[in-house]
Structure 1
Amino acid sequence: MLTKQTFIFQSIRWVFAKVFFTHYIHIRNSLNRKSNKSFFGMLQVLKTFLLLALLILMSTSSFSQSGKVDHITFGRRMDKPIKIEVMESGSSYSFYARNRSFYTYIVTLKIDNIYNLNPAYVNKTYKVLPGRHALITLNVNDKEFSSGYRYSYSFSLGVPCSDINESYPYLLPFMAPFTYEFVDEAGTTIYKNSFLLSKGDTVYAMRKGRVVATPGMYHEGDRISKKESFEVLHKDGTILVYENLDSDVVFAKPEKTVYPGQPIGIVDDTGKLHIELYAVLGKGRLKPLNINFCINANETVGFSKLRNSMISSYPEEVVKREMSKSEIKKLQKGKLFSDK
C-alpha cells in the first residue's frame, strides 16, 4: 500500500514524465517535417531532455529529505547495565532483570525452544527501572519429564518520549543576581547552550527531576555524556545534561530528586558550563531539543536571544510549577533541599 507521501511523489514524477515525452515528440516531429537534422536541432532536443530530467531529479531530492529526524546515536558507557537472572524451583523458572544503572531501560526478552513448560513461547518488552524486577515465570507442565528453554534479550536506554512539553520554562543554571558571559576575553563567542563562568561557581538545577548520573560516576551507572556531567531525568522523559562540573563537589546523589534552584555542583577547571536537553527516541537514539530559558515570570527565550551579562531570574511560580503541595510547604519552610 502506498503512503500519502509516496503517492504524491509518484504523481509528480508521472506529470513530469508526460510533459517530457510530449515535448520531446513535438520537437522531433517538427524537425522531421522540416528535414532539419542539423547539430543545432539535435542540441535543442538534448537540452530539453536534460532540463526535464533535472526537474524530475529535484522532485526526488525534495521528497527524500522530508521527515528527516535530527538525532544522535547513544552508545552505552557502562558494561552490561542490564542482566537477566533465572531462578529455578521444582515447578517453575522465574526470569528477573537487574538494572545496574540509574536510568530506565527498555528490555526485550525472547524465550524459545521451550518444552514441558508454559507458556510455550515468549517475546515481550518491559520497562525496567533501576534495581531487580520480575519479568515472567515459566511453569512446568509435568514434573515427571524434563523441561528446558533457550532465551536471548536486548535493551536500550530510556523510555521513548511521547508527550514532551516543548514550551516548558527552564531556569538559568545560576542564581540571581549572578551574571554570566557568552564571549571570552579574546572576543570569541562560545558554543550554543554554553556559559562562560569561573572555576568553583555554583550550578543550580533548572527543572525538577530525578538524578541519573553524577560527575565522576563511571562504573556505578550508565550515562549519556562522556564528560564530567550531571544528568537529570524529567517528568516528561526528557533528559538535561550539565557538563563540566567538578567531580569532587557533588551536592545531590543518584536516584534523588532535585528541584529548580537547588545547588547540584560547581564548575570545574574549564570555567565553561555546557548544557544539553534531549528527548529519547528509542533504540539508542537521542534527539537534541531547544531550551526555553526563563527570563521572567511570563517570558522565555532561546539561547540566541539571551543578552550578554543578563541577570538570571527565578520566578516563584516557575520554581513551584512541578512541585507537590507537600514539597511546596517544605520549600516555604526552607527544608526542601536540606532533606536531600
Structure 2
Amino acid sequence: MQGREDVRAAYMPPGLQAEAMTLQKRRQQVVALSAAAAPAAPVAETKKTIPTGVRFLFGTVSAVTATFFTHPVDVVKYHLQLAGKGGNAAAPTTTIGAGQDILKRQGPSGLYKGLTASMMRQVSYGTTRLGIYTTLMEKFAAPDGSPPPLAEKLAFSMVAGGVGAFVGNPFDLSLVRMAADSSLPEAQRRNYAGVMDAVSQIVRKEGFTSLWIGAGPTISRCIILNMAQLTTYSQAKEELLKTSFFNDNIWCHLASSMISGFVATAASLPFDVAKTRVQNAAKGEYAGMADCIMQTARHEGFLSLWKGFTPAYLRLAPQTVLVFVILEQLSNSYKRLFLS
C-alpha cells in the first residue's frame, strides 16, 4: 500500500506531492496514537491461596492444642462406653460417677491416660482430615470466593474423614486401649508404658496388620463424624453470615462450632461406641462393627448405643470450637500477613 502511494506521488505536480506527503504523515500519526490508546489485553490474575503444606501444619496445631484440653473428657467417655460390658454392673454409668471413679482409683493423672496416643492420633488423623478438607474447599471454591455447594462439602468431608481415619487408626487403637485399661480386670490389663510401647507390643504380639483392628468402624465413624462436623460447620457458618447478626469473626466461628459439635456427636456416637468396644475386645469377641452394634443393642438396649453422650458432647463441642477457632485465626492471620 505504501509503495502504491509513493508511485502516485511521483506523477503528481510538485505542490500536490507536498500536500499528499503531509496527509500521509498525519495518517501514520493517527494510526500510531490509536494503537497506543488501545486497551492492553487483560492479564489473568493468579488467585493467592495458602500453600497446602501450611494448611496441613495449621491442622496439626489446631487439632493437637484442642486435644490437650479435651482429653480428660475423652477418658471418661471410654469408661462409660465400656460400662456394662461383660455384666460389670458395678461400673459407673454417669459422667460424674465415672470421673469420680477414675480420680478415686488413679488420681488426677488417670484423666490423662493415653495422652501421648491421643496427641499422635491428632498428628496423623487430625492433620490429614483438616488439611485435605480445607485444601479441597479452597481449590473448588467459586471464582468470587464463595464456598462450594453442599453436595461437594459432603463429598470432601467423606474423603477427608476416610483417609484420616485409615492413617490414624494405629494411634487410635493405642489411645482406646491405654485410656480404658484401668476399667478392665487387673489380669486383663495391658499396662502399656506409652504410645510407642503400645504400637510395638501390638505388632509383636498380634501382628502388624493388627494395628488396623477396628479400622472398619473407625473409618465409618470418622466419615459420619466428618460429614456431620466439617460440613455442618461450613454450612452453619455460611448461613449465619447471611444474617445481619454475624460477621466473619470469632463469634461466628464459635456459634458454628457449637452447632457442628452437637450434630456430630449425635450422628457419630453409635459408631464411636462400636469402635471403642471392638478395639478393646478380646480376639474373636465380635465378628465386626455390625455384630458389635447388634450385640450391644440386644443385651443393653438400643439407647446404649448413645452411651457417653454427655462426655462425648462435652469433649467434641469444645474440641470443635477450639479446632475451628484456632484454624480460622491461623488462616486469617496468614492471609493478612502474606497474601494481602
State the TM-score, normalizing by the size of structure 1: 0.24
Q: Which has the higher contact order (CA 8 A, sep 6+)?
A: 2
Question: Where is the helix percentage greater, Structure 1 or Structure 2?
Answer: 2
Between structures 1 and 2, the one with greater strand share: 1
Q: TM-score, normalised by structure 2?
A: 0.24
Larger Rg: 2
